[in-house]
Amino acid sequence: MTCLLVGAAGIGAGASRGGDSDPAATATTESIPLTETRRAALTPVRVTALRVSDDDGRRQTLISPEEVSRWLQFADSVYKSAGIRFVFDPEKDFHDLKSTRINNIMPAGLDKRADLTDVSLDMRRIAAGYPKTLVVYFRWGSASTPTGNSFSSGDLNYVVGCGFASTGVCGHQNISLLAHEMGHYFGLLHTFAGSYQTVADAAAALAAANNDTSIFAGDPFDDTPPDPMISEIACLDTRAVRLGEHDVPICRDNIMSYYDSPTKTLSPRQVRTVKWMLERRARFDMTAPQNRPGHADPPREDSRDAARVDPSAPPPAAPGASDSVIAEFETLPIAEATKVNASPQDMLGFSWYGFSRHTQIYCRGEKNATLSFKLDVPRDGSYEVIVYATLAPDYGQVQATIAGRRTGQPFDLWSDTIVLPSGPISLGRQKLTRGTHEVSFTVVAKNPLALAYNFGLDAIELRPAIAGK
């Protein structure tokens, strides 16, 4: 199998990974310009750049508007195959931000992610002050000298970058760094599952896995085959590597690979994911919905001044939410389970802060599977019913009922490739009496692209309806 690619990047690419140092990149060559007609047909994505320094102004990230533009020129060459062009005004879209906490942020493993929740929420609120834009924090890092390292993911509403010359591999600046992290922002995974120092190391790993090359796969796509990342050959032009008795292809030209190549592109399957993710982000002003019962979305006023959003301020409560009935599905008694196997699932590995209490109920089911809970309502009233759920590639379409009455329309929990928090799903108003009610969820159908009829439930909120609204 070869690596299928769409389009050809007009300028050379480096490679990077969200949250780690980069073993490969390449030198810049000349750009192949788009005609004005072709460029106008692409979907514009506006970019806001925040250059971060410490509270006292020290350790200001080594980045200029011109360097941001150079990174975005390369990103244009990659994402034009997904119908995207990036828009950046060096005078209007480049801002300075003083915050030692943000300036220190670094990627973290699962054991440290919970520690970053507060600063991540601060960054989310500041980014939301620049609605309808892709926000990039260019920060210094946690050391006295620039650390390099960048990261993002589909559950964040921002990309974390670094200084232009603070990362470099194969002897040159990493021109593909920002485009690679944008790939994570648009829901793409690495083409590789892990890295190896030498060809012999990779061969030994393959032999230990009974020659199953799927151990090298970082994403589930057929057109990005299992891709061993081998530092020993990262800066060469190797297109396949002999591991034991197997010739294993290398996705050297793919933007989500670390290998050095003069071109970086997207596969057709990656293009589909990027388009789906852009459409979803656009519905939420380019934010990333999160499951935080009782809280309003971050402010979305059209601010061009990051200082207007106080990173130390708590998230605002939603109107009426102070009297909400909020329950975590993993703590509710299960009244009935039909055609479904349900159990709590830790979600910290999928999102730093996106899921309420980092846990959901994972429901492995089939069509017409039903899971019912007992929910105590403390007082009579009219409530807006809000469900916080999970989106995943193997999830179906779910219909909710409360006290035997259908509540709202079926909601689709399918996502392309990655697992994401749904954010608040409003199922409309319902009058409820004081006492215990049965809340049920039935899988009624699935998206044609969904892999199964499973579903995931995070929390439920009964928010008192406000008169006149």
Phi, psi of 278 (to 5 degrees): -65, -40
Q: Are 458 and 328 in contact (CB under 8 A)?
A: yes
Query: What's the CATH superfamily of 319-464?
Result: Galactose-binding domain-like (2.60.120.260)
Q: Does residue 429 register a pLDDT over 70?
A: yes
pLDDT of residue 37: 57
The DSSP bridge pattern shows strands 359-377 and 455-464 to be antiparallel
Q: Is the pLDDT of residue 18 over 60?
A: no
pLDDT tens per residue across span 237-271: 889 999 988 899 999 999 999 998 888 999 999 99
Mean pLDDT on 175-192: 97
Closest CA to 346 of 333, 337, 355: 355
Q: What are phi and psi of 26, to 5 degrees?
A: -145, 165
pLDDT at site 98: 98
CATH number of 36-282: 3.40.390.10
Instruction: Report domain extents, the chain.
Output: 36-282, 319-464
> Are 349 and 359 contacting, i.e. CB atoms less than 8 angstroms apart?
no
pLDDT at 307 over 60: no
Mean pLDDT of 403-430: 94
Of 15-29, 308-322, 349-363, 414-428, the least confident: 15-29
The token pair at 355 is 């899921």
Query: Could you tell me the CA-to-CA distances from 179 to 156, 168, 412 in Å, in that order?
Result: 16, 15, 30
Mean pLDDT of the chain: 88
Q: What pLDDT is attached to residue 28?
A: 35
| Cα separation, 363 vs 370, whole angstroms | 9
The confidence band for 308, taking pLDDT boundaries of 50, 70 and 90, is very low
| pLDDT at residue 287 in the model | 87
**What ranges make up the beta strands (E) of 272-332?**
325-328
What is residue 145's three-state secondary structure? coil
Give the tens place of pLDDT for each residue, 43-73: 999 999 999 999 999 999 999 999 999 999 9
